[in-house]
Amino acid sequence: MDAALTTAKALGLDPVGGLLKAYQALGATRSLGVGLAFGLVFSLLVVLTVYKIGFMEMFIGKSGVTGFLKVMVIGFTLFFSLSIACLIGEKIGRGKGNFSSNCFISGVALLPIGIVSLISALIGYKNFEVTFILATISICMLVMILFAGLTRIGELSDKVASYIVPLMLIVSVWITKVFLTAMFLK
């Protein structure tokens, strides 16, 4: 956990430029741990956001521990599917990444989205313009971090990564939507 906090502090100041340096400093094994920790934090941020904005009321009978665990699974599904999409993208593009590097990249990339979603839930819908600005920034950061991760850590060419990143996002969101539908909207 100490490695995750140290990495979060370092990447908080330079999330795109510091990605490769942070990964190299951690090594493959610790990067996997940090990536999983970031994925777990992202999942918790999703849960807090869902509970804060009252979505659980839409899923009658899904509140409490069962609802909490199901929403955690949804958040972790997005992280895990993005990690797998990174791995597949690197294999297609003949990159040099591995599962630990892709978990690290995915965890780092999703944190801004999780943080902004919770901030947006806390400030409320009446501050839509602030939410829109923060969401735009976090989505841009997501894309830049994924691109930097695939090109710098996974050693994909810019040309290949330019096509792989949007495909990864589409596939990851679709897989998460399938899990969301299967878990809540039966």
Each residue of 116-129: pLDDT tens digit? Answer: 988 988 887 788 89
- Average pLDDT of the chain is 85
Question: What's the pLDDT score for residue 60?
Answer: 42
Question: How many domains is the chain partitioned into structurally?
Answer: 1
The H-assigned helical ranges of 99-157 are: 99-123, 128-148
Stated length of the chain: 186
Range of the domain at 87: 2-184
Question: What's the pLDDT score for residue 143?
Answer: 95
HSE, side-chain direction, 13 A CA sphere, residue 76: 11
Among 186, 106, 88, 93, smallest CA distance to 149 is for 106
For residue 120, CA distances in Å to 41, 52, 108, 158, 186 come to: 17, 10, 19, 33, 28
Each residue of 138-174: pLDDT tens digit? Answer: 999 999 999 999 999 999 999 999 999 999 999 999 9
Each residue of 37-72: pLDDT tens digit? Answer: 999 999 999 888 887 776 555 554 456 777 778 778
SS3 186: coil
Each residue of 70-83: pLDDT tens digit? Answer: 778 888 889 999 99
